[in-house]
A and B are shown apart, each in its own frame.
Chain A
Amino acid sequence: MTTLTQTFKIPESIKKGSKFSFCPGCDHGVAVRLVAEVLDELGLREKTIAVASIGCSVTLYDFLEVDSLEAPHGRALAEATGIKRARPDKFVFTYQGDGDFASIGMAESMHCALRGENVTAICINNTTYGMTGGQLGPTTLIGQVTTTSPTGRNVEYYGYPIKIAEHIALCDGTAYSARVSLDTVPNIRKAKAAIKKAFEIQQQGLGFSFVEILATCPTNWKKSPQKAHERVREEMMPIYKPGIYKDITANN
């Protein structure tokens, strides 16, 4: 009899019996699983307080087996700041959409990074407001058709999209800022490594850590999950280049 090695299982940090409420093929599911895998690997589950945000990930607390709070739209990092300052012994992270993080929550997000709060933020960039039906958001690409830019995002009217990971890297309180993509399995593995690094930075008390995750919204993009990953590769990654934009622990 050959011995079997288990190479995949549902992470312990995923609530037993819970199922994701995301649309078929949505990358949010991969991102939440990666967070759970890292919580498992770093043994953080029992000391974590997660802050959920407003968007398709609004019921994050239904999926993760950790203590959680819900934040008003955009205010996740303000809430995380309060929690971490009151309980510095806890591991505190937010999980936010691009609209939540960089539109309504831009002030809270940037100032949290500038203050160098010792918390981690995960931001899912799908270039739209997924939950509310695919409106134009701060990261919507030039030319991208959305329900509120039916002829495509034009610079004259809407201005330019924001490169979040680069801006967060420029904040002096930031210890780590990376952008990753979930378009392929190798990139999913890199994304997990970035989440792990960001969480370790918080464990070491080094300051604000941030991971922007390029993700699909097949429903609002009106694309198959497969074509949606092609869009991430061909349209998003050339503008939102994956990479590590700041890492104060790197030797250089």
Chain B
Amino acid sequence: MSHIVIDKERCKGCYLCIEECPKKLLKVGKDVNSLGVHLVEFDDPNHECLGCAMCATRCPDMAITEVYKG
């Protein structure tokens, strides 16, 4: 199942990934990291993720550390 891995401590909350996802699977979450940043959340209940890595390519901080397609 295609999916992404987020490193919570790398996310600075720029939210550039959110508009990049073609399936709109990313959103601002409730959890906060040590920077005080509301983390990006990956929410894919219907397994729509394409594994395209658009989000990770856009992320300036490599907070999306891994992307898998399959």
Contacts and interface: CB of A to CB of B under 8 A. Distances in A.
A116 interface: no
B68 to A, nearest CB: 4
B43 interface: no
A26 interface: yes
Contacts of B59: 29
Given A2-B1, A10-B65, A24 B12 contact: yes
Q: Could you tell me the dominant secondary structure of chain A's interface residues? A: mixed
B32 interface: no
A29 B65 contact: no
A28 B2 CA distance: 28
Interface residues of A, number: 29
Given A8-B57, A185-B57, 20 more contacts: A2-B70, A4-B70, A7-B67, A8-B64, A8-B66, A14-B62, A19-B9, A20-B61, A24-B12, A24-B14, A24-B37, A25-B16, A26-B60, A27-B60, A28-B60, A33-B60, A188-B58, A189-B57, A225-B60, A229-B16
Interface of B: 1-2, 4, 9-10, 12-16, 19-20, 37, 51-54, 56-62, 64-70
